[in-house]
């Protein structure tokens, strides 16, 4: 059991620097400082492309950052999907370090990365095209001021003051509070939530048994594997991506199942999306669409394998 707690703590601590930088970026963007002027990289024509590339990096921090930026309306919904689809968490590391042959590793990793990148970028652009960028466009300055006032009243009305200064009352904050203590406080808060969920899911996988999950995937059958793998991939914990990769390495899961599960797997991104509790209907829609895409792409890959 101690291993579960240590792994959960390690993952949470690795996420902390990403979260601090994320909240620092949000403060810079909200206050329109010279350093934090809105960039078209987040909402422009290249946004889904950049999101897909960032998601390929085997770190769940990017999916968490994407969720937070989307909630703040600094990221298009298509870019959010691009990051989610491209994310594979720790599966790539498992594949690289697996006993597969060098050729097998190269083929699997390149095929997986290439397929996920193409799917992530394609879906991202399609969603932004149909959404018209209306749902998560970068707000105009007057809109941002109004939304910030409303959000701060709603989110921080019960927060304690620190030495007489509220963390989010920006008008009276020093730069140290604004750009150091406030981002750090938010980052620590999210890290604590992530730690709790990591421990919970880690214990769940330990109780069920990793070998039992792999055996369940093996017994699902070739044409049911994408569906079952996609369900496993929904678990917001690195253990789910590790199980999918290990099942593939021992031959218990085909490439189609692996793809379907890892398209659905968003690391801790979905957890960050649901953390605040608001817009839960929208978040459920995003989660359901991600799952549907994972199943769809998994079966499509399985059909291609079958006919080839």
Return the pLDDT at 220.
67
- The domain of 44 spans 2-307
Cα–Cα dist 195/205, whole Å: 15
> Which one, of 237, 251, 278, 286, lies nearest residue 7 by Cα?
237
Residues of the chain with pLDDT under 70: 1, 29-41, 60, 133-173, 176, 210, 219-220, 276-277
Q: State the Cα angle at 112 between 110 and 116, rounded to 5°.
A: 120
Distance (Å) of CA 273 to CA 237, 266, 287: 14, 11, 9
Tokens of 205: 């996988």
Count of C-beta atoms within a 10 Å radius of residue 140: 9
> Which one, of 7, 112, 63, lies nearest residue 275 by Cα?
63
Give the count of domains, the chain: 1
Cα–Cα dist 306/93, whole Å: 28
Return the pLDDT at 87.
92
DSSP state, 166? Answer: -
Distance (Å) of CA 72 to CA 66, 203, 267, 276, 286: 10, 32, 20, 12, 16
Q: What 3-state class would DSSP assign to 99? A: coil
Tokens of 24: 């620092």
Return the pLDDT at 192.
84
Return the pLDDT at 144.
44
């Amino acid at each position: 059991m101690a291993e579960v707690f240590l792994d959960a703590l390690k993952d949470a601590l690795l996420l902390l620097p990403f979260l601090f930088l994320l909240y620092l970026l949000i403060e810079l963007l909200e206050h329109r400082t010279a350093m934090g002027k809105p960039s078209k990289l987040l909402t422009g024509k290249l946004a889904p492309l950049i999101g897909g590339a960032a998601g390929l990096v085997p770190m769940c921090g990017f999916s968490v950052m994407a969720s937070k930026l989307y909630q703040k309306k600094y990221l298009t919904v298509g870019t959010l999907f691009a990051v989610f689809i491209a994310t594979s968490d720790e599966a790539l590391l498992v594949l690289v370090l697996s006993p597969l042959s060098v050729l097998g590793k190269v083929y699997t990793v390149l095929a997986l990365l290439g397929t996920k990148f193409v799917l992530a970028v394609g879906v991202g652009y399609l969603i932004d095209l149909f959404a018209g960028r209306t749902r998560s466009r970068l707000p105009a300055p007057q809109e941002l001021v109004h939304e910030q006032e409303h959000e701060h009243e709603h989110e921080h009305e019960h927060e304690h003051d620190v030495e007489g200064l509220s963390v989010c009352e920006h008008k009276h904050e020093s730069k140290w509070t604004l750009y150091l203590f406030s981002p750090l406080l938010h980052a620590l808060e999210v890290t604590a939530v992530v730690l709790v969920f990591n421990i919970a899911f880690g214990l769940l996988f330990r109780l069920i048994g990793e070998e039992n999950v792999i055996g369940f995937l093996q017994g699902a059958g070739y044409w049911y594997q994408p569906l079952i793998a996609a369900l496993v991939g929904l678990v917001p914990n690195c253990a789910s991506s590790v199980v999918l990769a290990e099942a593939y390495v021992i031959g218990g899961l085909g490439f189609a199942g692996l793809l379907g599960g890892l398209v659905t797997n968003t690391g801790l991104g979905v957890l960050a999306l649901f953390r605040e509790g608001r817009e839960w209907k929208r978040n459920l829609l995003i989660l359901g669409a991600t799952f549907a895409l994972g199943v769809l792409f998994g079966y499509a890959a399985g059909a291609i394998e079958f006919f080839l």
